Amino acid sequence: MAENFWEIRERTADGKRTANITYLKKGDIAVVYLVGMEGHCFLGTCVLDSGFRRLDREEAKKITHEEYLDWKRGVFFKDIDKWDKPLPIECLRGKVSFIPINGNYGSYLQGSVKRISKPDYDTIVREHELIH
């Protein structure tokens, strides 16, 4: 997020195109989510400053941690609100429609782009404000 770019895998491990990446467009409002061993959490919000696309060589060189770019594809951000304390996904169970009430929500969201409703987006932001 600090580099105004989020890398997204174009194809899943089994070769299928990642869901919804063709719908990403400049001006979309997004919530950034991180799947990790130390917890699954929302990191903040932003506005997309590009649709999904491949970085050209010069753009890739400008990324501070270019060595970590595996796919060199993704979206650029603007108007980033990076939260000091991430919002654990557990706080949203039963409050938003896109998280299963039972089961492994991490694998449900991992490696994909999910479209969420405006009410779900507002719930995420509100829950973050409540616990911080």
Span 70-81, pLDDT tens digits: 667 889 999 999
- Of residues 103 and 16, more confidently modeled: 16
Q: What is the pLDDT of residue 99?
A: 81
Q: What is the pLDDT of residue 34?
A: 83
The boundaries of the domain holding residue 10 are 5-131
- Of residues 115 and 12, more confidently modeled: 115
φ/ψ region of 23 (left if φ > 0, alpha if ψ in -120 to 50, else beta) reads: alpha
- Of residues 98 and 39, more confidently modeled: 98
Per-residue model confidence as pLDDT tens digits over 44-87: 999 999 999 988 888 887 876 666 666 678 899 999 999 999 99
Q: What is the CATH number of the domain that holds 47?
A: 3.10.590
What does pLDDT average to over the chain? 84
- Of residues 88 and 14, more confidently modeled: 88
pTM of this prediction? 0.82
Give me the amino acid identity at 112.
S
Q: 41 vs 60, 96, 130, CA distance in Å?
A: 27, 14, 15
The count of structural domains within the chain is 1
